[in-house]
Amino acid sequence: MPRIDLAAIEQTNRTGYPPEYADAVAGRWVRRLGPATGLSDFGISHVVLKPGAASSQRHWHEDEDEFLVMLSGEAMLIEEGSRTALHGGDMASFPKGDPNGHHLVNESGEDCAFLVVGRVPLGDAHYPDIDMQWVEGSYRRKNGSSF
């Protein structure tokens, strides 16, 4: 397998979040490595967070395991009631079904980068801090109404 040329893979900061929740991830830049390298059984993304950016809204998945490897810089892992600094070389795992929502926030003055491995979730995702959930393939309010 040839070396992956990271610079040749599109880097985007698109999000599917409703506009009222999208600002948190405006400084998140993602390269989807799976499709670009022919992987189909799992996804892997290279993520750069600019200072002040979050990886996502704090969330947890009913049916997707996630695994993260910090490559460089520093980010704060925020979970229910805890904050843990992650540095280059640190790893974290988020088992499916564990209702302890998580996300990373770059509180430093420099970019940070990490890899996250998972798969496209088929089930629901929950966002405990905001009025949003992922249900049956779309973002909805917690009462089930559309944005």
pLDDT (tens, 9 = 90+) of the chain, 147 residues, equals: 589 999 999 999 999 999 999 999 999 999 999 999 999 899 999 999 999 999 999 999 999 999 999 999 999 999 999 999 999 999 999 999 999 999 999 999 999 999 999 987 789 999 999 999 999 999 999 999 999
Q: Establish if 81 belongs to a structural domain.
A: yes
Q: Establish if 36 belongs to a structural domain.
A: yes
Q: Establish if 14 belongs to a structural domain.
A: no
Domain holding 77, by residue range, is 21-140
Q: How many distinct structural domains can be found in the chain? A: 1
| pLDDT value of residue 122 | 84
The pTM of this model reads 0.94
Q: Establish if 62 belongs to a structural domain.
A: yes
| pLDDT value of residue 115 | 98
Q: Establish if 9 belongs to a structural domain.
A: no
CA distance 87 to 60: 22
Q: Establish if 47 belongs to a structural domain.
A: yes
| pLDDT value of residue 2 | 82
Residue burial 39-65, b: 16+ Cβ < 10 Å; e: rest: eeeebbbbbbbeeebbbbbbbbbeebb
Q: Establish if 27 belongs to a structural domain.
A: yes
Written as six digits, the tokens of 3 are 């070396």
46 backbone dihedrals φ, ψ, rounded to 5°: -95, 120
| pLDDT value of residue 1 | 59
| Domain of residue 89, CATH code | 2.60.120.10
- Residues 138, 78 contacting (CB under 8 angstroms): no
Q: Establish if 83 belongs to a structural domain.
A: yes
